Amino acid sequence: MTPERFRRLRRVLARRQPDLTVLMEGVHKPHNFSAVIRTCDAVGILRANLVPAAEFRPARGVSAGVARYVDVRCHDDLHAATASLRGESFRLLAAHPAEDAVDFREVDYTRPTALLLGTELHGLTAEAVAAADASVRVPMQGLVRSLNVSVAAAVILHEAARQRTAAGLYERCRLDDDTFRRTLFEWAYPRVAHHCREQGVGYPELNEDGDIVG
């Protein structure tokens, strides 16, 4: 871990948004899952949520790549996932081209927001749409009814990032001190962090250059 790499990790972590997330319902194609996680990292999402399909397998290299910097929380089922998010005061927005869906650009994403994303072929289930507070759509001018799930996620989440940038939400660290220190150590020293968790001991302290000092 070089001092330059450590400082970059600190800068990126300081811009993470704890109140912006996604909930993927049954997204099981590895390339789509990977693309959504890459977008999550690009817009500063700290944690993504997943209700995995039975056939779900992450793409090779995802866990060792950018997904290392986006925590993916798996839930047993949709009810457990939505209940958990509501318990954290998230508003649930379904990416779903329904008749009553609003243009995705008309939504205020500076509020705590969880974007619900469905399967590649069928989209969100009726249960997921019903659980959402509202549905948003990306307007289509051609023959297709909707975008690929990873593309839709990128379009909507970058609008969220644009609004949050304008509101100054990336200008200061929005994580509590404990979360920031713990996450920074896990990013910088994932193997040491894993060993500490296995042994049930706390993480060592790091100095300004990212060296372990305790």
CATH classification at residue 129: 3.40.1280.10
Per the CB < 8 A criterion, the answer to whether 46 and 17 are in contact is: yes
What is the average per-residue pLDDT within 92-97? 94
Per the CB < 8 A criterion, the answer to whether 167 and 49 are in contact is: no
pLDDT the model gives residue 30: 84
User: Closest Cα to residue 97, out of 127, 131, 119, 123?
Assistant: 123
d(CA 30, CA 77): 20
d(CA 62, CA 65): 5
pLDDT the model gives residue 56: 59
Average pLDDT for the chain: 90
pLDDT the model gives residue 142: 83
Q: Bin 58: left if φ > 0, else alpha if -120 < ψ < 50, else beta.
A: beta
pLDDT the model gives residue 75: 94
More confident call, 198 vs 65: 198
User: Closest Cα to residue 53, out of 24, 96, 19, 16?
Assistant: 24
pLDDT the model gives residue 64: 47
Element (H, E) at 71: strand 71-74
The answer to whether residues 4 and 45 belong to one domain is no
What is the average per-residue pLDDT within 100-115? 96
Ranking 15-24, 51-60, 166-175, 186-195 by mean pLDDT, the lowest is 51-60
The answer to whether residues 105 and 188 belong to one domain is no
pTM for the model stands at 0.89
Q: Which residue range is the domain that position 214 belongs to?
A: 1-16+175-214
Q: Give the number of domains in the chain.
A: 2
Query: In this predicted model, what pLDDT tens digit does every residue of 27-63 receive, in sequence order?
Result: 878 888 999 999 999 999 999 999 986 655 555 555 4
Q: Edge-to-edge strands of the sheet including 20-25? A: 71-74, 47-51, 20-25, 113-117, 91-95, 134-137, 102-103
The answer to whether residues 141 and 95 belong to one domain is yes
Measure Cα distances from 51 to 73, 76, 77 in Å.
9, 6, 6
Query: In this predicted model, what pLDDT tens digit does every residue of 62-79 receive, in sequence order?
Result: 544 677 899 999 999 999
The answer to whether residues 94 and 147 belong to one domain is yes
The answer to whether residues 107 and 203 belong to one domain is no
The answer to whether residues 67 and 150 belong to one domain is yes
The answer to whether residues 146 and 180 belong to one domain is no
Neighbours of 210 (CB within 10 A): 19
